[in-house]
Amino acid sequence: MNIIDLRSDTVTLPTKEMHEAISNAELGDDVFQEDPTVNRLEKLAAEKFNKEAAIFLPSGTMANLVAVLTHCQRGDEVILGDQSHTFLYEAGGISSFGGVHSRQLKNHDDGTMSIEDIKSAIRKKDVHFPPSRLICLENTHNRCLGMPLDINYINDVADIARNNNMSVHIDGARIFNAAVATGSSVSDLTKEVESVSFCLSKGLSAPSGSLLCGESSFIQRARFNRKALGGGMRQAGILAAAGIVALNVMSKKIVQDHQNAKKLADGISKIDGINLELEKTKTNIIYFMLDHPKVNSSALLEFMEKKNIRFFELAPNWFRLVTHSGISNESIDYVVNEFDHFFAKA
């Protein structure tokens, strides 16, 4: 049987409609801003987020890096969470390439940083301190149980930034998941922030690419930083064509991924030896702890691999499962049954 890959929603494959769009894509040189398909994708993204402009980038990591470099000068400070993707998983790019200092605050299980902690972290003007320039949020928050951020929280943080002459960037790699979970549109979730990036190659199933949205002047500066980092692509419409399908079609199907995640979480939460807080499964990401005296993580992963089921152990006895467009309702039934079989033999 086919592999049921729950390691991440980055393993999604392009749909048939995307393959057709790629085959028929009208192409040009995007560095000259002459690729009509890229231009259509950027216009579509800006419209969906109600921002003035957008820029297509090869990856989410580059999109976040370009955002920070565009907001900040060398020696500036960015406030972000200690569990954020930018801090943990982007190779320290904002420091190594941008000379930007990071101030890490504790992320709570719901993905937020304390409002009071944010206020306290903002530097006063003093020769001893780097200037506080930017606050970065992540929505949904990968390491924090895939939690979506509440729109009121986002707006509260934006108010703090405005009152201190700072900006807010949202790493919205999975922001369409946040929109489904909260019942808010992506434009409402990002209305009060200066920039947002989002990924096309996770739950939206495109083969590659992310977009960064913001004011026209911001995006124009971002184009310079993208080029400097080697992110300028030529006939990138081949990728952008799939991105247009992702936004127009796949964004409407994310609700199915959430339904599958809920079903999977509900099924395995009933198993003795799995510690899972069902009410905290809000999107397509499920975390659970292995809590069984006769079972170790290696045995669990080995058993599941033999059953063609893959998922990650992120820390000792702490696991993540991610649903996506490649996971069917029938696949969920199979996975729950195999979890049952494994623990029944323990």
The residue with tokens 């902690």 is 117
pLDDT at position 346, please? Answer: 80
Residues 246 and 279 in one domain: no
Residues 242 and 262 in one domain: no
SS3 230: coil
Task: Give the neighbor-by-neighbor strand order of the sheet with 318-322.
Answer: 274-275, 285-290, 318-322, 312-315
Residues 242 and 263 in one domain: no
Residues 141 and 63 in one domain: yes
Residues 180 and 328 in one domain: no
pLDDT at position 272, please? Answer: 93
Q: Are 327 and 4 in contact (CB under 8 A)?
A: yes
SS3 breakdown of the chain: % helix, strand, coil, rounded to 5? Answer: 45, 15, 40
Residues 211 and 270 in one domain: no
Last residue of a domain, one of 251, 266, 298: 251
Burial of 109 (0-12, 13-18, 19+ CB in 10 A): middle
CATH of the domain at 129: 3.40.640.10
Residues 109 and 132 in one domain: yes
Residues 194 and 57 in one domain: yes
Q: Which segments of the chain have a pLDDT < 50?
A: none
d(CA 273, CA 340): 11
Residues 232 and 260 in one domain: no
Encode pLDDT of 324-342 as tens digits. Answer: 999 999 999 999 999 999 9
**Structural domain count, the chain:** 2
Give the residue numbers spanning the domain of 329.
Answer: 4-9+253-344
- Torsion of the alpha carbons at 296, 297, 300 and 301, rounded to the nearest 10: -150
Q: What is the pTM of this model?
A: 0.96
Residues 40 and 187 in one domain: yes
Q: Are 223 and 22 in contact (CB under 8 A)?
A: no
Residues 244 and 333 in one domain: no
Residues 244 and 260 in one domain: no
